[in-house]
Amino acid sequence: MKSGLPRVPGVKVRMNEELSVHTSFHIGGRARYFLEVYSKRALVRVLKVIANEKLPYYVIGCGTNVLVADSGLPGAVLRLGGAFKRMNRHGNVFRCGAGVAIENFLDEAVRVGSRGAEFLAGIPGTLGGAVKGNAGAFGRSIADLIDRVFLMDEQGAETVRTRNEIAFTYRSSDIGNGYIITGVSMRLRKGTSRAIRQSIERNLAARQKRQPDGYSAGSFFKNPPGRAAGELIEICGLKGASVGDAEVSRKHGNYIINKGHARAVDVLALAEMIRKTVRMQTGIELEAEVRLLR
C-alpha cells in the first residue's frame, strides 16, 4: 500500500534516504521516509498520516547527539524547517522555532545585544534538540534561559509548558517521545554586542582546545556526579582504544570518533567496552548521552 506522506502539502519527502549524510557521526542506514516539514499545518497532517499508517517516527535536527542503527529506520524521519526556523523578539525575550540552529540564535543575540546564552557557543544542533536534552556547557544549561516550551502531541494538538512545568535534569528533560517540540521562548538580558561576541569567542576557544576533530556525536557519556566522564576514561587507559573504525579520541576521552568507515555496531561495542572497563576499575557506571535510533 502506498503511503499518503508524499501527498502532504508543505512537506518535502525523500524515500530510502541515506541517514549517514544527515548525522554528525556520518553513520547509519536508510530511512524509509525522510520528511522536511515546513509548517505547523503540515506537521499536523503528517502526524495524522503517520497515525493512520501506524508508522514509527523520529525527529532530528542537525543530526547531532544521535547514533542511527546500521539497519536504518523503518518509519518516517522528520526534520523541521521553514516556519520552524523563524525567530521573533520582544525586548530580550526570544520566541524561536525548534528548527533554529543554536549558532543562528547566538548570532541574533549578538546583533541585538542580548546576553546570557553565550555558554551555548560551539554546541551543534537546533534549539529543539537542545531543549529536549537540556544542552549546556560551562556549568550552565539551556533550562536556565527557558520561559516557555511549545509542544505538539501525536494527535497534532498544541500545548505550552512553562519552565516550572518541565522537569529538567542534567542533559535531560521529562518531555517524552509522545511530544514534538515546535518552539521555545527564552529570556535573556540586556548587554552590548561587543562584550557578548567576546564572551562567545572565549567559549569557542576553550571548547576548541579540548574537542577533537573528526566525525562524532559530541560527548558520548554524561558526566557522573562530581566527575568528568572523559577523565575517568583516560584514567582507565582507554584513549585510542578502537573497534573497527570507531576510536576513543586521543585528545578527549569522552569522544568516540568515526575514522571514516565505522558502523553503529562498532560504536556500540566500543561504548560497552568503555562502560565495563570504567565500572570495573572505578565502580562508576557511565550513562550514554548520545541517543541510539533504531
Output the DSSP codes for 19-84. GGGGSTT----EEEEEEEE-SHHHHHHHHHHHHHHT--EEE-SSS-SEEE-TT-EEEEEEEE-GGG
CB-CB contact of 70 with 28 (8 Å): yes
- Cell triple for 20: 549517514
Question: Is 86-209 the same fold as 9-82?
Answer: no
Number of CB atoms found within 10 A of residue 49's CB: 19
CB-CB contact of 3 with 27 (8 Å): no
108 counts as catalytic: no
289 counts as catalytic: yes
Q: What is the pLDDT of residue 210?
A: 87
Q: What is the pLDDT of residue 258?
A: 98
Question: For domain 213-293, which CATH number applies: 3.90.78.10, 3.10.180.10, 3.30.499.10, 3.40.50.300?
Answer: 3.90.78.10
**What is the identity of the amino acid at 36?**
E
Whole-structure pTM value: 0.94
Question: For domain 9-82, which CATH number applies: 3.10.129.10, 3.40.50.720, 3.40.50.2300, 3.30.43.10?
Answer: 3.30.43.10
Nearest to 68 by CA among 38, 31, 95: 31
Q: Which residue in the list 114, 219, 249, 263 is annotated as catalytic?
A: 219
Give 250-267 pLDDT, tens digit per residue. 999 999 999 999 999 999
Q: What is the pLDDT of residue 54?
A: 96
Q: Which residue in the list 171, 187, 279, 294 is annotated as catalytic?
A: 171
219 counts as catalytic: yes
On the CB side of 120, CA atoms within 13 Å amount to 27
Q: What is the pLDDT of residue 192?
A: 98
Query: Which of the residues in the chain have pLDDT under 50?
Result: none
Q: What is the pLDDT of residue 2?
A: 79
> How is the chain split into domains, by residue range?
9-82, 86-209, 213-293
Q: What is the pLDDT of residue 143?
A: 98
Question: For domain 86-209, which CATH number applies: 3.40.640.10, 3.10.20.30, 2.130.10.10, 3.30.465.10?
Answer: 3.30.465.10
Q: What is the pLDDT of residue 62?
A: 94
